[in-house]
Every structure is written in structure tokens, then in C-alpha cells.
Chain A
């Protein structure tokens, strides 16, 4: 059989060119997160994780020092080199709200009367949480409509553990202004999340030892 089949499939390759590795910090962050089984951490496992964190941290520090040295020596080939370990800017995605309008995922349907409820919602980047939107988000909040968001966790939660939100307004990949903090007592559930100005907000979410991230667009209310 000829290679035409392979060529035809190659033709639709969604990622045909080489891409740089993501920054090693993503591994470091993951090593800090609680394990999925959330069982007791033995002394051996704790030591092993600490060793891993320390080792990878030192890789990051070494890479940063090397990068700094290159810049100081005037060898800045940023445009040519692939993003290396610790190169945040190359991999921070631009802020973009990706609200879907459709049937909620099965795990996010609890409490809805319909069997297949259709809502506007957004999933966290890691798929661990959904933000179900009841109204278009406005800043400042519209006079007769709160910015109601129902948070649904896809992972197990601990009773009484609040959902903590650090919201940062972004312009593309750049931070714009100071971050603000919000909390939903009792953890993922109904909430009113008002934010100080319109724009694209990146929300870092933390609850029951889990983390996730999503971008939400707040608009200036119309007349």
C-alpha cells in the first residue's frame, strides 16, 4: 500500500511545526498540588515530593541565572530561540473568555430541573470546575441584575472549604492593574462575583486543595 494514506493524514496535521516546551514551572506547580486520591501523605512520600520540588526549583534557578547572564552579556536572541524553562511570556495564553451556550456537562447538572439543561457556562482550563452564568457579566454590576455565577466542582470537595478567587484583569497576556480577591464561603456554589472594572479577567480558583483557572469577560453595562 502506498504512502498516500499517511500523506493525506499529514495534510491535516493540526500542529505541523515544532513548538517549544512549556515552562518547567507547570510541573513544579503540579508537584505542589494534592494528589487525586487525597489519601494521607506518608513521611516517605512527603520527602520524595520535597526532593522533587527542590530539584526542579534548582533547575529553574539555574536556567534563570543563565538567561540573565546572556542578557547582561548582550546575547539576546529572544526572537530566534525557542522558549526554554522558565520562559513565562512565551506560554502565557492571552486572556479570552470562552463561554459556551449549550447543554451542561453531566456532572454540572445537579439542581437543574431539566434533564439536559442549556445554559451559558465556562469550564476551567483543567476541567475541574464550571462557572454557570445566569446573566451577562457587567462591571459595574447592572442596577437590577447581579453578576450571579454558579460554581460547580468536578472534583471532590471538602465541606466548609471556601472557594477563593484571585482575579486579575488582563490585556492580552499582560496584567492590567492590581489583582482582587473574592471568596465564596462554603465552596463552589451560587455566588455573586462583582469586579471593579470591565475587561477580560483571569480568575485563579482554589478550593478544597484544588486549583483551576478561567477567563471571564465583564462588559460595561449598556444604557
Chain B
């Protein structure tokens, strides 16, 4: 049986990268590691309580830490504002029409509630199954599945509205991204 130190070491090696990625997707890169440190301090103190599959638990802790920081922090930018300025301005998508597609996705995401958005992002970005994503949010798998279904529908509706708007812009080469 591994002692606490070895267990923490393995936990850190295996999951700190994924936690860092989760945080960087939602917070500025400069202080993301600060949040990761907070997560693993909690993990160290709760080492005996960790579930067999610790990643959803760790992401749940990261999520709560970020929520606390947003509440008390003037850098609480909406997801759209923060990442649009950081990612889209640098033109991550290379194709001529890609930036407007990306922009439409971001705007559509920003119209969702935080709850709907997080449900979609856990599946799309973190690649979690319904059951694991439910554990991140501390809800039952059925509850999450229903939330995800509704979030998908709302997002699709918002994206359709956005792509219609973009396609009407003069000179737009945007193509429909959602059939």
C-alpha cells in the first residue's frame, strides 16, 4: 500500500497537467498555476478522502476555487470577453472564414447560463463522459444528462442565430457550422 507521500506524488504527476489545462481554459494563464496550487493543497489535506477516480473530484475543487475567485475578483471577465480577446484576436483558426465561425461559437456560448456552458465545456473540452462530468458538478448522472441535453439545444439555437447574423455581414465567407 502506498504511503501518503507516494500517493500524492502519483496524483500530482498523473493529474496536475489536466487540472492546469482545465484552469487555463477558464482563467488567465499567468495566475492559472496559482489556482492549480490551491487545488492540490486541498488534495493534500483531503488525501484520505479521494475517490478512486480522482480527476472529476480535482476538477470540482478547481471549479469551486475559480468561482470563489470570480466572486471576489475584479478580473471577473465573462468567458466570452476573456477568451475572445486572448484567442480570437491572435487568430487561432487559420482559414479566412474560421475566425467568424469561432466568433459565432464564442458568442453563442456567452449567451448560455454558467451552468449550461460548464456542462457543454466539460464534455467538449475536458472530454469527460456524462458520469464523470456529473461528478465534477456534484450532481447525479441523470440530472447532468438532462442538463446537457437542454444546454446543447440552447447552444445550437444561439449558434444558428449567430451564424445567420454573420452570413449577412458584407463580404462574409462564413459557412454554416451546425447542420
A-side residues, CB < 8 A to B, are: 1-2, 4-15, 18-22, 24, 26-27, 29-31, 48, 52, 55-56, 58-59, 82, 84-85, 91, 93, 98, 104-108, 123, 125-127, 154
Contact = CB atoms under 8 A, between A and B. Distances in A.
Interface size class of B (residues with CB under 8 A): 35 or more
Given A19-B20, A21-B20, A107 B74 contact: yes
Interface of B: 4-5, 8-9, 12-13, 15-17, 19-21, 24-25, 29-31, 33-34, 36-38, 40-41, 44-45, 69, 72-75, 83, 86-87, 92-93, 101-102, 105-106, 109, 120-121, 123-125, 149, 152-153, 155-156, 159, 177-179
Contacts of A24: 12, 16, 40
Contacts of A15: 21, 24-25, 125
Contacts of B178: 4-5, 8
A82 B109 CA distance: 32
Contact of A10 (B106, B124, B156): B124
A85 B15 CA distance: 12
B125 A13 contact: yes
A55 B123 contact: no
A12 B177 contact: no
Q: Which of B17, B20, B34, B156 has the most CB of A within 10 A?
A: B34
What's the dominant secondary structure at chain B's contact region?
helix
Contacts of B17: 18-21, 82
Contacts of B9: 59, 85
B109 A9 contact: yes
A58 B12 contact: no
A14 B179 CA distance: 23
Q: Which of A10, A13, A48, A104 has the most CB of B within 10 A?
A: A13
A18 B15 CA distance: 11
Contacts of A13: 25, 124-125
B129 to A, nearest CB: 12
Contact of A27 (B5, B25, B37): B37
Contacts of B44: 27, 31, 52, 56
Given A11-B101, A27-B41, A55-B4, A127 B155 contact: no
Given A6-B123, A21-B12, A21-B17, A11 B69 contact: no
Contact of A1 (B5, B33, B36, B156): B156
Task: Give 6 closest A-B pairs by Cβ, nearest first.
Answer: A105-B74, A21-B16, A9-B124, A26-B37, A55-B5, A30-B37
Nearest to B154: A5
Given A1-B149, A9-B105, A30-B37, A59 B5 contact: yes
B106 A12 contact: yes
Contacts of A107: 74
